[in-house]
Amino acid sequence: MKLLKKKHKPLHINDITIVDDDKLKKAITAAALGNAIEWFDFGVYGFLATVLGRIFFPGSSPTVQMIAALATFAVPFLVRPLGGIFFGMLGDKYGRQKILATTIVIMTIATFSIGLIPSYETAGLFAPLLLLLCKLAQGFSVGGEYSGAAIFVAEYAPDRKRGFLGSWLDFGSIAGFVLGAGVVVLISSIVGNEHMGEWGWRLPFFLALPLGLVGLHLRHQLEETPAFQKHVEAMEKESKDNLQDRPKLSFMEVATKYSKSFAICVGLVLVTNITYYVLLVYMPNYLSGSLHYSEDHGLLIIIAIMTGMLFVQPFVGLTSDKIGRKPFIIAGSIGLFLLSYPAFWLIQSDSVGLIFIGLLILAILLNCLIGVMASILPALFPTHVRYSALAISFNISIIIAGFTPAFVAWLVSLTQNLNMPAFYLMAISFIGLATAFTMPETANKPLRGATPTASDKEEAKEILSQHFDTIEQKVEELDETIAELEKKRQNLVDQHPKLD
């Protein structure tokens, strides 16, 4: 029986996708804004954790109230994998744009509804239960939000600019966090601490509604990504039945069939998001609850740090397009191990300047990690299962990361050791290093299973020329290897009387 050899067609200039600049800008803006709304809630909730603890969990000590409020923040992460599986399968079947428009609606309504929940004094146990329901709805929608947004940006971005353009997604995260924190500080300064605890805390959550409507309008106007459109066209050519019978991935299939990509995704998400939650969610409560530092001063310092991160974020993404993504993961992980303890030593001082420097160290290390995450993750999986596989992998690992604020607060309370957050970051730095040394370099390469993408015709020609040069180089290397093997073979043949 003859084996049929699949003949690979040469790459042609028409096979390279050229992205329309206006569509690209709209895609980046819409994706980043949706992410900003997600992290606006995280920022508001994290910075109001002490107030929310008193409102929804009265009768306990301040420490227990804070831990309870942070635990409520963490519980929704348990349902994120369910949201990831649900929206991931739909995203691979019906497209990325439709799902992103859906997730932003659910997330906006859930965030807005938190502001409507009565206090414990008014509704009793129903108050924390309603809060939990809203957080669970957020968790379900967010399960498909970040993965879908990262994929949307990555599939639109030209190969040589994916790091820079992908960095704007988490620019939106940080901006949303800054906005949330800034709104809390502004409202608190206007209404005062007493009124903030009575009704002022509701106002930041109400702002999610107009933000969400703007985000929905932008996402509704978007077209589907070029990579997914090409994938659908290819399936239509093969068989129209393929469009209805798309692959449906389970967690076990992702963990086995794409085991290496799954492990890399989990490792990267863990080291990045644990650092993120320690710095941006737990730290405000650490400064006020554990160090008894002025809440207003602590919030202002962290807002200043996050504002600085906004400027560093695109620089990291841009540089990663030049030198690669791996150097940043390595630098960030080594930095966490060597500098976390000194950073917390500075944070524990009574000097505003030293506290600022300690937080700045952690912020720069976080920028190294988060600046490249959105460009790495979508490149790990092929187009036809990218949404499902990434959503499952991302949200399985985010469960652990999501409990970081509550877990670290519990560790500090249990041990009475204020350096426990530093030790925790030092421990997870090993996960980051292991991930960096095993992950493939994805900079300036097409997404897995996709054709190259360029900014314009000239860049497409350069990519095509570079592609052919690479093939020629590999063929030359193979020819040299074959020639050396032929010499070795001949030497062995010459030593045997019956071989010729």
Task: Note the helical H segments in 246-385.
Answer: 251-257, 259-277, 283-285, 295-323, 326-347, 352-376
The Cα 326–Cα 201 span in angstroms is 41
Distances from the Cα of 225 to the Cαs of 30, 35, 38, 250, 455, in angstroms?
A: 13, 18, 22, 24, 14
Q: How many independent structural domains does the chain possess?
A: 2
The Cα 430–Cα 195 span in angstroms is 45
Kindly state whether residues 349 and 476 are assigned to the same domain.
no
- Span 46-78, pLDDT tens digits: 677 778 777 877 766 666 766 676 677 667 777
- Span 309-321, pLDDT tens digits: 999 999 999 999 9
pLDDT at residue 247, as a whole number? 53
pLDDT band at 420 (very low <50, low <70, confident <90, very high): very high
pLDDT band at 154 (very low <50, low <70, confident <90, very high): confident
Q: Is the pLDDT of residue 158 over 80?
A: yes
Kindly state whether residues 434 and 468 are assigned to the same domain.
no
Kindly state whether residues 404 and 480 are assigned to the same domain.
no
pLDDT at residue 438, as a whole number? 93
Kindly state whether residues 239 and 325 are assigned to the same domain.
yes
Tokens standing for residue 3: 């084996």
Question: Residue 204 in contact with residue 180, Cβ under 8 Å?
Answer: yes
Note whether residue 401 is domain-resident.
yes
Q: Which of 406, 421, 379, 376 is nearest to 78 (CA)?
A: 406
Note whether residue 6 is domain-resident.
no
Q: Is the pLDDT of residue 306 over 80?
A: yes
Instruction: Identify the residue with better confidence: 253 or 328.
Output: 328
Q: Percent of the chain having pLDDT more than 90?
A: 21
- The SS3 assignment for 221 reads coil
Kindly state whether residues 314 and 192 are assigned to the same domain.
yes
Kindly state whether residues 105 and 202 are assigned to the same domain.
yes
> Residue 492 sits in which domain range?
459-500
The reported pTM is: 0.79
Longest dimension (CA), the chain: 100
Q: Which of 196-205, 212-221, 337-346, 382-391 has the highest mean pLDDT?
A: 337-346
Kindly state whether residues 450 and 463 are assigned to the same domain.
no
- Span 428-467, pLDDT tens digits: 999 999 999 999 998 888 888 777 887 778 877 777 777 7
Number of other CB atoms surrounding residue 357 within 10 Å: 15
Note whether residue 2 is domain-resident.
no
Distance of CA 358 to the CA centre of its chain: 24
Note whether residue 9 is domain-resident.
no
**What CATH number has the domain bearing residue 303?**
1.20.1250.20
Note whether residue 466 is domain-resident.
yes
Kindly state whether residues 215 and 271 are assigned to the same domain.
yes
Radius of gyration (C-alpha) of the chain in whole angstroms: 25
Kindly state whether residues 342 and 472 are assigned to the same domain.
no
Kindly state whether residues 423 and 493 are assigned to the same domain.
no
pLDDT at residue 296, as a whole number? 65
Note whether residue 3 is domain-resident.
no
Q: Is the pLDDT of residue 2 over 70?
A: no
The Cα 274–Cα 281 span in angstroms is 10
DSSP single-letter state for residue 75: G
- Span 271-286, pLDDT tens digits: 999 998 888 778 877 8
Q: What is the helix (H) or strand (E) element at residue 159, kind and residue range?
A: none
| Poorest-pLDDT segment among 45-54, 132-141, 369-378, 427-436 | 45-54
Kindly state whether residues 473 and 349 are assigned to the same domain.
no
Note whether residue 8 is domain-resident.
no
The Cα 321–Cα 441 span in angstroms is 11
pLDDT band at 182 (very low <50, low <70, confident <90, very high): confident
| Poorest-pLDDT segment among 16-25, 255-264, 399-408 | 16-25
Note whether residue 358 is domain-resident.
yes
Tokens standing for residue 360: 């700045």
Kindly state whether residues 121 and 179 are assigned to the same domain.
yes
pLDDT mean across residues, the chain: 82
pLDDT band at 424 (very low <50, low <70, confident <90, very high): very high
- Span 188-247, pLDDT tens digits: 888 887 788 788 889 988 988 888 888 888 887 777 776 777 666 666 565 555 545 555
| Residues 6+ away with beta carbon under 8 Å from 50 | 62, 65, 66, 69, 285, 288, 289, 295
Residue finishing a domain among 437, 455, 473: 455
